[in-house]
Structure 1
């Protein structure tokens, strides 16, 4: 045993004496410590990397060797080391790389663990600073912002250009730009430019934007579609964990949870203007995830983003979208403040599929920032003042102004647009785009016909129904708009009609007034709350195919007026006054009879009422300056509060009553897990009223999905004068199905739904009912639940949705003429993109 211990001691001593313990520090030519440098003993498995201060520590069992120091973007060094080597001061020299060099980096085949990935250490430093970076580091700032939005036709060949320009082809081919592929051509058809001055106060969190000038040219007057498409690109804040785009939540490449969605590759580091930049590429871990692909440059020391390029991955199927790209650039000020200098967004939209050979529509949005002034405070009152655009021509400037600010390329674009907008082929294409997106056909006579999807319908009272609608339309900013329709039922052989006119009385404050007349058949109770819509919007009379028979329709002859006052952006106060004569559309099957205060049975009523409402939609993106405004596809909550009062003996009104209603909708973005759309409704009616003035739980007997209705109820299955309802839909946006090997190829997305209603009806209201609907209230909660698949279709057309729906049990009242509803159903929804 003693000899064995002696032998072990000798071997251990020899081993320890053969070890090399190395320490050192690695810097660049400017004596700046270099983190993440690879330090390896050549031809061995022993190595390490430098820490944030450029220091390293390495212990090996060898007694000599070659130490190899390497870092992307720097010249590799090799040093001889032995047991006498103790501390090394190493200087690495930069390689001669340029910021704009073209490189191809592919997604790594083997995924590194987060802490093993050198990009992780860099991104961790970015995360520490991203809430306090750039202009957030100064108290006050000013700059000029130039915004250009351009829409054009892409992927055009010479054959199309020859047909378009004919005798002017030779000259035009010199002016027409190449497409992004450098092979086919691109023709702009619309452009809008805006120059504004921005003033910010970080102390009080106030931002003021003064528009200096605005100009537009091209084919944009036929409809709203180009506005909506142009406003697809709002400000993309990559420093947020999630980026909202087309009402979907994309994970930002700078998200603190980015490693669960992306693969990162630290490709290179270079010196640009004496500043070191790290180049990191990022790729979605799974094709089809709502994520981006691209690269970003991060500055050393400050760990600020210098430049970023990214695009929506082709595997993501967004309706009509062939491609979306984003680019951001920043510059340094005062050694540490990185401020934005350029934002560039580009979208490529096609109708059928993503095939690169198909013609499409390009939307370009470019924003440049210049003339920065930092830490020059202005008065507090100055920042509080808001200058709003209230008239379409408010910021028009003469040619002399634009000649001084536009470059030659912009001037050529305007010249080309003025030429092509007169061409018949271009007008036909843009007209078709507007018709497909809005449903209205332009007549060039100051009005449009449509929407064409309400042209035909069928119900048990009217039989086959045809409806022709119209609206006046000169420009999207019309102060006056008249809409209406004429309908005819081939079974009842009656003509129905309605018209509604609205006029913008004042731009500031924004005041609109409206008046409407309607003589038509309507499905009452299809919605619980209706404030600003003077005409009935009833899907019950618009469906071509329905489940079961529906005779529960009403004749409605109504006169209504509306006054709407905008208190501030997205906060409106309004008053409606209405006079409506209501009766059953077919008394043989549907009786609305009630007992009046004299004990007599009445079959008709006259509802004279006023509504006072308040609507609040914070954060909603609103555009358009006419009486009919448009809303962006951003995510925002909606709050509506309405008080309705009925007047008896005023203009022959038959009932006194009061009704209070409340509605709250809140879409909740849950990052990569999708979006939850939640709606709550509540209401109470005070007074004794017949069925036409009560609150039926909204049913849906059509085979299509309708928001905030119950699919497995018949009309008037539940009648209430006090109710509470909730509708919840969670859209996973591919989070689940994209992780199932076979299903992910179909690019489907899953969703789950839950809807519930609770309500009561008073004994007094039951007592005056003399019709054939026996009141049944959901005094035990009624609910429906289901799951569905969306993003169904072909190519770029994936707007179909299919839901499987089940319901809870309920018992119709004794003597009810309503047929039992199914306990399970399959329903289809259509939801186009944009």
Structure 2
């Protein structure tokens, strides 16, 4: 035993003697320690990087070797290592300043582990301090913010310019800007500027923004499409782990989990204004991930970001998007407080594909920050006040105000836009863009026809159905709007119509009212909860392709009125009053909604006279537009809707007295790189004895397309309830799974899963009065559907299609049911635009 121990001891001794410990310190020519320097033995894996004090220490198995000391921006050194080497004092000399050179940094061929990558140590320091730096360090702050949004046509050749300007070409071409490629041309068509004063109180987390002035010029304000695209560029907080963009979660390059998504390259370090800056480039590991590529400069010691520029990688494949770039600049004060000085966002949008040869639409958004005043407190009540914009021209100023205030490069742009906006070809092109985005075609006298995608439909009662819709539209901020439609069925030879007039009574508080009349057919039960939608727009009656026979349509003649009061921007209280005469749209043999009244007499028509009081709460929702019709951005926000409905028997010949209480809660949840979970839960209860047309019908969907919050493998009127609960969960992985599968990742597909369920009951009293040929059925046990799907399907830049494979639970239709059996499995197609 002692012999074995002695042999082991001798073996260990030889092993220890065979190792060499290398220690030292690396400094620059001014004796400043250099952190994050690469110190490695050539042609081996032995080595390390220096710490914050420039020191290093590691062990190697061999007794001799060549030590290589390298750091971007400095001259590389080599030293011989021998058993006599004890401690090395190494001085690195800086190379020539490379900031003026054209820098091209490519993605590394070999991926370094975290601890081997010198950028990792810098990122660790950024992570430690990212919640400590910035304006959050001061109690109070003020600054001026100037925002400019510019829209233009890009990638234009000289032939296109000549065709537009004709005789003016020689004089105008001198003023037309080059595109970002420096080859083709760019023509601005719309420009707006806004000056805002911002006041912040970090003690109470209150921020007040006062708009001081606005101006705009051009064609972009005619349609919502330009707003929607420009609203893509909200405040991008790069210090968050995940950045929300177009309802998708992109991993920030400064994320604490960034090394799972990015490769980092520490490219350079320079001294600027007595501050050493490190330049770090980042690239997505997988080209199809929702991620960025670019670089950022970070200050030594404070590790605050000085400048960052990044763009969405093309592999992310966003609909209509050829490119999105973001640039941020910061100023460092007192070695600790960094403040933003500039945000510059630019989007390049195309219709068909991402080819650089195609013409496109450019959206530029530039925000300049200046006039900072830190730690000057104002009265607490000052921060509580809100200076809201309530009228379109509220902050418009004349040209004398803007003489010394507008962004300098925009002065020539305004002049060019005034010339461009009168050109007929430009008007046609921007009108086409608006038509494709909104579905409406511009006509003279501020009238629009559309939307064109509802022009044709097919159902068993009308046969082939055509529909022409219209609306008045002068600007997006119209205070009054009249809309309506005419429809004709070639089988029943019936003319249907509807019209709605809306008017904004008051800008502040925001109060609107609307009145509508409808004489049309509807698929009742398309939705469970409806608040201020007065005209029926049920997909069951307007689908072009459906499964099975659907005679279950109702003829609805309805008067309706709405009064909506905005308590706050995202908190609305509303009142509805309706009188609807409802009967079957076909013969009693095909579809009957008959019932017996309290005297036992059979009835075939319901006259529903009812009022609704609703409350909608959508905190954080993005609202834009100051007219009677507002639009909502594609951001992430929760939604709560509470509705109480009362039916009146007697007044205006109302046939039923009842009460109905409903609630609906929706919550999109961003789960970082794992995707987006869209969740909806709703429930309701009807009090009183009412016929089928006034009960809660679980929304079925017999069309061949996917419709949100409906059940695709359920027939219309399969489940009729007076008390119900339903839930819908839809999770979009946004490439998290498929991007990691070789070969398949080249298709740029995204996976998703869904789960939907419903449960309900019905009272004996409501069952007893039913004399229709619909046999009441309720999901006394939970009915559910689940599916897996693929999205981002399409060609080129048009990838808004999805395909779902759907299964359902088993259930038994009631005896005598006239509906065809619903399928247990189906494939459905959905459309999900990117903007």
- Whether TM exceeds 0.5 here: the answer is yes
Residue deviations 1:698-724 (CA, integer Å, cap 9, x gap): 011111111111111111011000000
Report 1:255-654 matches (<5 A): 255-588=255-588, 589-654=590-655
Partner of 2:660: 659
**Cα gap change, 1:655 to 1:9, in 2 (>3 Å):** closer
Kept in 2, the 8 Å contact 1:122–1:303? The answer is yes
Partner of 2:118: 118
**Cα gap change, 1:22 to 1:794, in 2 (>3 Å):** closer
- Distance in 2 (CA, whole Å) between partners of 1:67 and 1:743 is 44
**Cα gap change, 1:652 to 1:298, in 2 (>3 Å):** same
CA drift at 1:15:
10
**Cα gap change, 1:648 to 1:33, in 2 (>3 Å):** same
Report 1:168-183 matches (<5 A): 168-183=168-183
**Cα gap change, 1:333 to 1:30, in 2 (>3 Å):** farther
- Distance in 2 (CA, whole Å) between partners of 1:71 and 1:48 is 12
CA drift at 1:315:
1.4
CA drift at 1:13:
9.7
Residue 147 of structure 1 pairs with residue 147 of structure 2: yes
Report 1:31-180 matches (<5 A): 31-40=31-40, 47-58=47-58, 68-77=68-77, 86-99=86-99, 101-180=101-180
- Distance in 1 (CA, whole Å) between partners of 2:464 and 2:488 is 8
Kept in 2, the 8 Å contact 1:95–1:270? The answer is no
CA drift at 1:738:
1.5
**Cα gap change, 1:652 to 1:416, in 2 (>3 Å):** same
DSSP 3-state at the match of 1:315:
helix
Partner of 1:233: 233
CA drift at 1:60:
6.0
Q: Structure 2: give runs of 5+ residues left out of the alignment.
A: none
Partner of 1:798: 799
- Distance in 1 (CA, whole Å) between partners of 2:242 and 2:80 is 49
- Distance in 1 (CA, whole Å) between partners of 2:604 and 2:81 is 105
Partner of 1:757: 758
CA drift at 1:20:
6.6
**Cα gap change, 1:531 to 1:11, in 2 (>3 Å):** closer
Partner of 1:690: 691
- Distance in 2 (CA, whole Å) between partners of 1:182 and 1:6 is 77
CA drift at 1:29:
4.9
- Distance in 2 (CA, whole Å) between partners of 1:5 and 1:253 is 54
- Distance in 2 (CA, whole Å) between partners of 1:797 and 1:531 is 33
CA drift at 1:40:
4.5
CA drift at 1:152:
0.3
- Distance in 1 (CA, whole Å) between partners of 2:40 and 2:123 is 24
- Distance in 2 (CA, whole Å) between partners of 1:5 and 1:763 is 90
DSSP 3-state at the match of 1:382:
helix
**Cα gap change, 1:55 to 1:456, in 2 (>3 Å):** same
Residue deviations 1:596-648 (CA, integer Å, cap 9, x gap): 01110011111111100000111111111011001111111111000000011
CA drift at 1:137:
1.4
Residue deviations 1:139-196 (CA, integer Å, cap 9, x gap): 1111111101000000000001111000000001101000000000000001111111
- Distance in 2 (CA, whole Å) between partners of 1:426 and 1:392 is 25
Kept in 1, the 8 Å contact 2:312–2:324? The answer is yes
CA drift at 1:77:
4.5
Kept in 1, the 8 Å contact 2:37–2:118? The answer is no
Partner of 2:719: 718
DSSP 3-state at the match of 2:739:
helix
Partner of 1:218: 218
Residue deviations 1:222-270 (CA, integer Å, cap 9, x gap): 3211111111111111111111111111111111111111111111211
**Cα gap change, 1:63 to 1:585, in 2 (>3 Å):** closer
DSSP 3-state at the match of 2:187:
strand
DSSP 3-state at the match of 2:651:
coil
CA drift at 1:751:
1.0
**Cα gap change, 1:198 to 1:31, in 2 (>3 Å):** farther
CA drift at 1:81:
7.3
- Distance in 1 (CA, whole Å) between partners of 2:711 and 2:7 is 86
Partner of 2:813: 812
- Distance in 2 (CA, whole Å) between partners of 1:489 and 1:15 is 93
Kept in 2, the 8 Å contact 1:19–1:83? The answer is no
- Distance in 2 (CA, whole Å) between partners of 1:159 and 1:324 is 27
CA drift at 1:56:
2.1
CA drift at 1:71:
1.8
- Distance in 1 (CA, whole Å) between partners of 2:810 and 2:128 is 54
Partner of 1:785: 786
Partner of 1:741: 742
- Distance in 2 (CA, whole Å) between partners of 1:422 and 1:190 is 12
Kept in 2, the 8 Å contact 1:221–1:474? The answer is no
CA drift at 1:777:
0.4
- Distance in 1 (CA, whole Å) between partners of 2:614 and 2:336 is 51
Aligned pair count reads: 834
CA drift at 1:14:
11
CA drift at 1:462:
1.2
Residue deviations 1:384-409 (CA, integer Å, cap 9, x gap): 11100111001111111111112442
- Distance in 2 (CA, whole Å) between partners of 1:576 and 1:87 is 84
**Cα gap change, 1:88 to 1:643, in 2 (>3 Å):** same
- Distance in 2 (CA, whole Å) between partners of 1:365 and 1:292 is 18
CA drift at 1:582:
0.7
- Distance in 2 (CA, whole Å) between partners of 1:375 and 1:30 is 37
- Distance in 1 (CA, whole Å) between partners of 2:238 and 2:684 is 42
- Distance in 2 (CA, whole Å) between partners of 1:694 and 1:7 is 90
- Distance in 2 (CA, whole Å) between partners of 1:285 and 1:208 is 41
- Distance in 2 (CA, whole Å) between partners of 1:358 and 1:293 is 23
CA drift at 1:132:
2.2
Kept in 1, the 8 Å contact 2:49–2:116? The answer is no
- Distance in 1 (CA, whole Å) between partners of 2:11 and 2:806 is 76
Residue deviations 1:650-707 (CA, integer Å, cap 9, x gap): 1111111000001111111111111111111100000000001001110111111111
Kept in 2, the 8 Å contact 1:18–1:83? The answer is no
Cα-Cα RMSD: 2.4
* Stretch deviating more after TM superposition (775-784 or 728-737): 728-737
DSSP 3-state at the match of 1:174:
coil
**Cα gap change, 1:101 to 1:207, in 2 (>3 Å):** farther
**Cα gap change, 1:292 to 1:221, in 2 (>3 Å):** closer
Residue deviations 1:774-799 (CA, integer Å, cap 9, x gap): 10001111111111111111100111
Kept in 2, the 8 Å contact 1:782–1:810? The answer is yes
- Distance in 2 (CA, whole Å) between partners of 1:723 and 1:12 is 76
**Cα gap change, 1:567 to 1:81, in 2 (>3 Å):** same
**Cα gap change, 1:455 to 1:87, in 2 (>3 Å):** same
Partner of 1:254: 254
Residue deviations 1:331-375 (CA, integer Å, cap 9, x gap): 111122111111111111111111100000001011111111111
DSSP 3-state at the match of 2:348:
strand
Q: Structure 1: give runs of 5+ residues left out of the alignment.
A: none
Partner of 2:677: 676
CA drift at 1:66:
6.8
**Cα gap change, 1:811 to 1:299, in 2 (>3 Å):** same
Report 1:172-211 matches (<5 A): 172-211=172-211
- Distance in 2 (CA, whole Å) between partners of 1:146 and 1:18 is 66
Residue deviations 1:305-331 (CA, integer Å, cap 9, x gap): 111111111112111111111111111
